[in-house]
Amino acid sequence: MEDDSKLHTKPRTWLERLNDLLVREPKDREQLMEILRDAGERDILSGDMLHMIESVLQVAEMHVRDVMIPKPQMIVIENDNPLETLLPLVIESGHSRFPVINSENQDVIGILLAKDLIKYCLNKEATQFDIQQIIRPAVFVPQSKRLDVLLREFRVSHHHMAIVIDEYGHVAGLVTIEDVLEQIVGDIEDEYDTDEDDEIKKQADGSYIVKATTPIDDFNEYFDSELSDEEFDTIGGLILQGFGHMPKRGEVLKIENFRFKVLHSDNRRIHLLETTKES
């Protein structure tokens, strides 16, 4: 007769299986990773799960300074900007949160949420715009704060952005919850991202979506062009040199008969471009 206990055994979760692995009591991080990699080879953990666990361990050793957006690259709004001045900036940047600074001393005095401007856009005459009435308090964190601690604070406080300060109390940059999460799950993609193996994808309007990691040789072969690959191997490197700074989403650069528009970038690199070949 078959054992009833086996018939009613529930499938074990990956957390339960991971707990069994840790019974071996690793002495340090390297031993822990050896156990986890062994579990991956035996299909106890999936490759994605193994990568995520390793990323979580790495995040525990990283600090805010490692992922923050430096001050020169911050998109800020001055407290005396009229609505007609700041709206184009908000729309063009595509961001949802903006540090608000005092125009006189450049101190950060709060955070503006783009969604709080909607009522003024729909009914400008009925409501007098006053940015002081809608900005939210800014959260300040030191450059030395560990990322895992910051992530926990973000989760508890429900904040999505913090202003980073240096040892002298001066603004050094900003960090968002997305910057931290991307260290764990990888780049958070948007609607423009292409398939993993699809470096160049033609759009219905005749433009092309191009990954910044596309080798220049492959780009030249695809478009029958002769862009230089003497200094850089990828299109992203060539574009970054052309801008001379880390470009924001929406910035445009022309090289020879190509027009490149940045679709996705962060404070570290360009990810995705919209490319148009002009005659």
Residue 59 host element (H or E): helix 47-59
Indicate whether 218 pLDDT > 80.
yes
Indicate whether 192 pLDDT > 50.
no
pLDDT of res. 150: 93
* Domains, in order of start, for the chain: 13-59 (no CATH), 65-185 (3.10.580.10), 200-277 (3.30.465.10)
pLDDT of res. 13: 58
Indicate whether 98 pLDDT > 50.
yes
Which range among 43-57, 175-189, 201-215 shows the weakest confidence by mean pLDDT?
A: 43-57
Residue 127: name the closest of 119, 138, 135 by CA: 119
Amino acid making up residue 195: D
Indicate whether 124 pLDDT > 60.
no
Indicate whether 126 pLDDT > 50.
no
Q: Mean of the per-residue pLDDT values for the chain?
A: 80
Residues 6+ apart with CB under 8 A from 195: 201
**Confidence bin at 187 (pLDDT 50/70/90):** low
Other C-beta atoms closer than 10 Å to the C-beta of 190 total: 12
pLDDT in tens, 268-279: 678 889 999 887
